[in-house]
Amino acid sequence: MGWGDLCSYGHPTQECGEIDKMVAEGMRFTQWYSADSLCSPSRAALLTGRLPIRVGVWGGERVFANDGSGGLPKNETTIAEVLKDAGYATGMVGKWHLGINEFLPGDGRHLPHHHGFDFVGTNLPFTNHWACDESKVHLAHPNPIKCFLYWNATLVQQPFRHDNLTASFLQDSVAFIHSNKDTPFFLYLSFAHMHTDMFSAPRFRETSRRGRYGDGLRELDWAVGEVLKTLVSLQIQHRTLVIFLSDHGGHLEICTEGGSNGILKGGKASTWDGGLRVPGIAWWPGVVAPGQVSQHLVSSMDVFQTAAELAGVTPPKDRIYDGKSLVPILLEKAPAVPTSKLPPSPRTLFHYCSDRLMAVRYGEYKAHFYSMELPTNYTEHCPSGVPKVEYYTSFDCYGPHITHHEPPLLYNIDRDPGELYPLPVGQYDEVIANILAAKLQHQASLVPGKAQCKETSTTLQPCCNPPFCYCNYKPASHR
Amino acid sequence: MGWGDLCSYGHPTQECGEIDKMVAEGMRFTQWYSADSLCSPSRAALLTGRLPIRVGVWGGERVFANDGSGGLPKNETTIAEVLKDAGYATGMVGKWHLGINEFLPGDGRHLPHHHGFDFVGTNLPFTNHWACDESKVHLAHPNPIKCFLYWNATLVQQPFRHDNLTASFLQDSVAFIHSNKDTPFFLYLSFAHMHTDMFSAPRFRETSRRGRYGDGLRELDWAVGEVLKTLVSLQIQHRTLVIFLSDHGGHLEICTEGGSNGILKGGKASTWDGGLRVPGIAWWPGVVAPGQVSQHLVSSMDVFQTAAELAGVTPPKDRIYDGKSLVPILLEKAPAVPTSKLPPSPRTLFHYCSDRLMAVRYGEYKAHFYSMELPTNYTEHCPSGVPKVEYYTSFDCYGPHITHHEPPLLYNIDRDPGELYPLPVGQYDEVIANILAAKLQHQASLVPGKAQCKETSTTLQPCCNPPFCYCNYKPASHR
């Protein structure tokens, strides 16, 4: 989902809904950054609190393939593992995309139950929604090879159907919450929406002014609302922090079907802010004050440290964490009208494309050492808002579409959030010197993890019924 | 002010403030259109409920000049006149820009007291903020010829100073409200902010993350808050509708100092949505439900009919009105989460540049018959976000920078609010036929008013102390 897709983030025609109510009751972040502009590295960083380059989720196509042997390394500690040790029930439902099999077809050694999740419901170990499109707008038929649904570690549907997908995720999530209402619990619910896709259950179709993209958002919105209502109905909302996040920005090349990044430049796959900045909402009635807007610079990697602090556990001390606890910000009850300028967040964030350090966000500034070229003519590319070519990608982090900037291209993001006006060379030497020092310090500490996204082997392709790879079982939970 | 300038409209670093509290307590419109993309015609239409072309506020530079003889014609009926007849006290403070003198220097025949305003406080009959810039960023010294302050019909300061300007507007407004708290009243308070300018009172300087533009917005925000607090302290908020509006979109050519139009294309002076769509907020505690977001297509011209309906008066029947009463929308208490798609607003809006009909908004669609070329390279034009040239304008409605579209360039604004993806020719014939029919019907009814913005005469130049044109009196109210 793009930074600008929600009514409360400024979209003029997306219907206001449950997520916007969540915003009104909680805290909306305007400068929440994902750790990466693609799915697998972003999720690895969210769950471990560490940059994807450290964790090893980089290389190849920057994401895990359906037939890959790589996955989130076992020596990485996830939020689920940390919280499980602290007595939390842990559950995972929805899109995983952090690896499937490692050595043998069906060994499932990278699946969520190996990463601290006791309960794993309906899940998509891998998705490429373009290949799974049932709308017949972009494809005649979904490709079963790339579109498979698991229940825990069992392949139950290939190709999966979208009609009941969100409802199944919700059903499993609500069941998990009900089962664990009397104990501390952690649920990682990861929707298939809004991954540059164009599906929704029938009852949400043609319910949005924005068309198919908006229909899907309305389904997602409904499901988020149901989760919150479950917490309220069980009266456990006062001891439950809910964080709503996107994994990266909208896919601009998909035109009106790729979502809106608001005024931010670029989108998915790039290190322009449109690729990295995401909606980020915290909801915790009675603790997080309602109607707050936080302009602090924060990262999805902060969720790990936040969870650890709230659970009172100390994360492993043998590694570097890139996140910081959000607890002080969440408890902050900012005055409705600040009386003076808030200092720019002193935070420094490192923006990578695979193993290449592309840009550094440093307080109000952002320095691009490398930047990715953007398509110049969306109008021609997108007759009536639908892309001409089946799939446009700019995933590669090396090549002629990458520009090296020496000195770095510098922007003041607070004043120029659209990255439109590079600051004049020679007038910001001190800022650049500080950024270079921070970059050197960071790089000196960096031990890249072994690239996990490179390893593929056709023998590892999940297939429920070889050689046909078609099936439709009832998930175990629903029997 | 641009559509995207406020925290509640999605700006990521503009400080949230009093206007955003007004939004939380009232109704935020996402599709509120000004009747024009420049100041004088927009204000003429707001006050009369009629298109500027009918009213005669067109021609020349599209705005009234400091030495002009034209003004809002006397045979036009303003909101103030209608409400005065209904027993309302009427007051005006701030920027006027609808004419000054007509025949003789100092005759003041176009000033607000000739248009139904009983009380007229500190006011700017004309402004060109670039010429009045005291920041020394764009000009060495303000030009006294173009920068003069009135109190009622008396020139009191030339060139005027910005330091105390907003505070004076506020002081006069609060005094008017206090004087009339026991009677129905109408106040037209028109700030000098945020007209592509870069001033604020000293105590607001360097208080915004966004720099000078944000500082100014913080001063404006403070003043709006003081007005609302006055109503609450007098306990008259339940019988007072407050509407907050901008007169047109932000001036893109001024780079970071021109404001943000959010995801909308283009800005001030153009008929792209960035020029026409504005923040529009309605606040009326106890009547307008809090936290509402309206995506209805509405116009600044609707304020006239709204005021008439609320006051129970019938506007003159001898003329065509382009506005509609907003009362049904204001009283609407929309469900927080609509269960199905809201129908596109059936409204048709006609977008002019001077006397040229450029575009027609028709429900969810917008057809451009003519479009204005946009600058292609803001980066080069705006080193570090400040424009290179002293003043860039694209006011002209005729010339080689205007493209004629036959068939019209058609967009679906609900799905493509950024006007990025023209719909394919030949697939929307029925929509275009409907738009052409509406256009013909509109044009058949149209009797253009005589162009009022053309007439200038150097003898009419306001000058308090000829030939020096420098003065600084205490306004009458403050003596």
B-chain residues within 8 Å CB-CB of A260? 263, 418
**Binary contact (A16, B336; C-beta < 8 A):** yes
Coil, helix or strand at residue B470: coil
Amino acid A72: pLDDT:
98
**Binary contact (B417, A295; C-beta < 8 A):** no
Could you tell me the two tokens for A148? 């498979």
Residue A159 Cα, gap to closest chain B Cα (Å):
29
Centre a 10 Å sphere on the Cβ of residue B30 and count the other Cβ atoms it contains. 25
Amino acid A142: pLDDT:
87
d(CA A416, CA B396): 28
Report the CATH number of the B7-344+449-478 domain. Answer: 3.40.720.10
d(CA B473, CA A163): 73
Span A147-155, average pLDDT: 96
**Which residue from B17, B30, B421 is facing A379, i.e. has the nearest CB?**
B421
Amino acid B310: pLDDT:
97
A-chain residues within 8 Å CB-CB of B216? none
Q: At what angle do helices A212-233 and A165-179 cross, to 10 degrees?
A: 10
The DSSP annotation for B416-453 comes to: -TT--SPPPTTS-HHHHHHHHHHHHHHHHH--PPPP-S
Q: How many CB pairs under 8 A join A and B?
A: 178
Centre a 10 Å sphere on the Cβ of residue B155 and count the other Cβ atoms it contains. 21
Query: Residues A73, A55: contact at Cβ < 8 Å?
Result: yes
pLDDT in tens, A152-165: 999 999 999 999 99
Residue of A nearest to B293 (CA): A16
> Half-sphere exposure (CA, 13 Å, Cβ side) for A283?
22
d(CA A252, CA A376): 11
Contacts of B445 (CB under 8 A, 6+ apart): B320
d(CA A314, CA A311): 9
- Cα–Cα distance list, B34 to B31, B322, B323, B443 (Å): 10, 12, 11, 20
Q: Of A312, A306, A93, which is closest to residue A187 (Cα–Cα)?
A: A93
Average pLDDT over chain A, rounded to whole? 92
Query: Residues B144, B159: contact at Cβ < 8 Å?
Result: yes
**Residue B147 falls in the annotated catalytic set:** no
Residue A303 Cα, gap to closest chain B Cα (Å):
21
Could you tell me the two tokens for B150? 């009135």
Contacts of B469 (CB under 8 A, 6+ apart): B144, B145, B148, B158, B461, B463
**Binary contact (B256, A384; C-beta < 8 A):** no
Contacts of A331 (CB under 8 A, 6+ apart): A287, A288
**Which residue from B30, B337, B421 is facing A255, i.e. has the nearest CB?**
B421
Query: Residues A419, B253: contact at Cβ < 8 Å?
Result: no
The DSSP annotation for B144-197 comes to: GGG--EEETTEEEEESPPSTTHHHHHHHHHHHHHHHTTTS-EEEEEE-STTSS-
Q: Which residues pair with A472 in a beta bridge?
A: A157
Span A277-301, average pLDDT: 96
Backbone angles phi, psi at A377, to 5 degrees: -130, 85
We find that the CATH architecture of domain A7-344+448-478 is 3-Layer(aba) Sandwich (3.40)
Could you tell me the two tokens for B153? 């019909």
d(CA B110, CA B101): 6
Centre a 10 Å sphere on the Cβ of residue A457 and count the other Cβ atoms it contains. 13
Amino acid B479: pLDDT:
45
d(CA B273, CA B254): 17
d(CA A61, CA A10): 33
d(CA A228, CA A244): 11
**Binary contact (B263, A208; C-beta < 8 A):** no
Coil, helix or strand at residue B348: strand
Task: Point out the least confidently predicted range of A76-85, A293-302, A448-457, B272-281.
Answer: A448-457
pLDDT band, residue A476 (cuts 50/70/90)? low
**Binary contact (A256, B17; C-beta < 8 A):** no
Amino acid A479: pLDDT:
45
Reply yes or no on whether the pLDDT at A334 is more than 70.
no
Amino acid B374: pLDDT:
84
**Binary contact (B379, A421; C-beta < 8 A):** yes
Query: Residues A452, A71: contact at Cβ < 8 Å?
Result: yes
Query: Residues B150, B125: contact at Cβ < 8 Å?
Result: yes
**Residue B97 falls in the annotated catalytic set:** yes
Residue of A nearest to B6 (CA): A10
Reply yes or no on whether the pLDDT at A478 is more than 90.
no
Beta-sheet pairing, A356-362 with A348-353: antiparallel
DSSP A202: G
Reply yes or no on whether the pLDDT at A390 is more than 90.
no
**Which residue from B13, B24, B382 is facing A421, i.e. has the nearest CB?**
B382
Amino acid B338: pLDDT:
66
Query: Residues A93, A59: contact at Cβ < 8 Å?
Result: no
Domain extents in chain A: 7-344+448-478
Q: Tokens 């248009």 correspond to what residue?
A: B115
Q: Tokens 């003076």 correspond to what residue?
A: A340
- Rounded average pLDDT per 10-residue block, chain B, 479 residues: 97 96 97 97 98 96 93 97 97 98 94 98 91 81 91 95 95 98 98 86 93 95 98 98 97 86 94 98 97 95 98 96 96 71 80 98 97 79 68 74 95 94 93 97 96 83 91 73
**Binary contact (B385, A415; C-beta < 8 A):** yes
Beta-sheet pairing, A185-190 with B27-33: unpaired
Amino acid A392: pLDDT:
53
- Cα–Cα distance list, B439 to A31, B296, B357, B369, B436 (Å): 44, 21, 9, 11, 5
Catalytic machinery residues of A: 39, 97
**Identified catalytic residue from B39, B255, B353, B397:** B39
Query: Residues B91, B117: contact at Cβ < 8 Å?
Result: yes
User: Strand (E) positions, B169-291?
Assistant: 185-190, 242-245, 277-283
Q: Of B137, B140, B141, B387, which is closest to residue B258 (Cα–Cα)?
A: B387
Residue of B nearest to A21 (CA): B336
Q: Of A38, A17, A388, A389, which is closest to residue A210 (Cα–Cα)?
A: A17
Residue, of A255 and B73, whose pLDDT is higher: B73
Amino acid B339: pLDDT:
67
Reply yes or no on whether the pLDDT at A397 is more than 90.
yes
Query: Residues A188, A82: contact at Cβ < 8 Å?
Result: no
Could you tell me the two tokens for B449? 């008013």
Q: At what angle do helices B302-311 and B39-48 cross, to 10 degrees?
A: 30
Residue of B nearest to A291 (CA): B24
Task: Point out the least confidently predicted range of A91-105, A193-207, B17-31.
Answer: A193-207
Give the type of residue at A463: C
B-chain residues within 8 Å CB-CB of A421? 255-256, 378-379, 382-385
- Cα–Cα distance list, A282 to A21, A291, A375, B349 (Å): 12, 11, 34, 40
Span A9-32, average pLDDT: 97
Span A25-34, average pLDDT: 97
* H, E, C per residue of A359-427: EEEECCEEEEEEEECCCCCHHHHCHHHCCCCCCCCCCCCCCCCEEEEEEEEEEECCCCCCCCCCCCCCC
**Binary contact (A15, B210; C-beta < 8 A):** no
Predicted ipTM?
0.94
B-chain residues within 8 Å CB-CB of A222? 337
Contacts of B20 (CB under 8 A, 6+ apart): A293, A336, B6, B7, B8
